Amino acid sequence: MPICISRTSLILRPDPTRVLLRPFSPGDSERAGRIIDRILAIPEERVAPLLAEICAEFCKRHQNIHDVFLERFEQVRETFQSDQDLSVERRQLIGSYFLAEYSLEAAALFNPSIVPHPDQTGLAAGDLRFVLSLRATGEGHISSVTFRTGILHADNRIEVMTPTGFLTEPRQIPNLLYEKGLFERKLAELGLNREFTRRVLNKLGDSFTLEDLRGSLQAEQFRLPDGMSREDQLESQGIWLLARSNYEVQFQPNEKLSERIIFPATPSQRNGIEDARFVRFQEADGRYIYYATFTAYDGKVVMPELVETSDFLLFRFITLNGPAAQNKGMAMFPRKIKGYYAMLSRQDNENIYLMFSDNVHFWNGCTALLKPKFPWELVQLGNCGSPIETDAGWLVLSHGVGPMRKYCIGAFLLDRDDPSKVIGRLREPLLKPNQNEREGYVPNVVYTCGALLHNGELIIPYGLADQATGFATVALADLLGAMN
Q: How do residues 209-233 score in pLDDT, each as one tens digit?
A: 999 999 999 998 887 666 788 888 8
Position 326 confidence tier, pLDDT thresholds 50, 70, 90? confident
Kindly indicate the confidence band of residue 472, based on its pLDDT and cuts at 50, 70 and 90: very high
Mean pLDDT of 158-170: 93
How far apart (Å, rounded) are the C-alpha atoms in residues 163 and 154? 23
Query: What percent of the chain stands above pLDDT 90?
Result: 81
pTM of the model: 0.93
Q: Quick check: helix, strand or coil at residue 319?
A: strand
pLDDT at 225: 66
Can you tell me the distance from the alpha carbon of 373 to that of 361, in angstroms, rounded to the nearest whole number?
32
Average pLDDT, whole number, for the chain?
Answer: 94
CA distance 211 to 237: 15
Angle at which helices 44-58 and 65-76 cross, to 10°: 120
Residue 352 has pLDDT above 70, yes or no: yes
Which class is 5-14+104-171+246-481 in CATH? mainly beta
If 0-12 CB within 10 Å is exposed, 13-18 middle and 19+ buried, where does residue 109 land?
buried
**Which range among 45-54, 106-115, 293-302, 453-462 shows the weakest confidence by mean pLDDT?**
293-302
Sign of CA dihedral 172, 174, 179, 180: positive
pLDDT of 191 over the 90 cut: no
| E strands in 227-340 | 247-250, 272-282, 288-297, 302-309, 314-319, 331-332
Please tell me what DSSP assigns to residue 439: -
CA 470 from centroid of its chain's CA atoms:
20
Q: How far is CA 283 from CA 6, 286, 345, in A?
A: 34, 5, 22
Over residues 446-469, the pLDDT tens digits come to: 999 999 999 999 999 999 999 999
Q: Is residue 126 within 8 Å of 285, Cβ to Cβ?
A: no
pLDDT for position 224: 67
With CA atoms as reference, report the closest residue to 442 among 274, 269, 270.
Answer: 274
For the segment 362-374, the average pLDDT, to the nearest whole number, is 95
Question: Is a pLDDT exceeding 90 seen at residue 77?
Answer: no
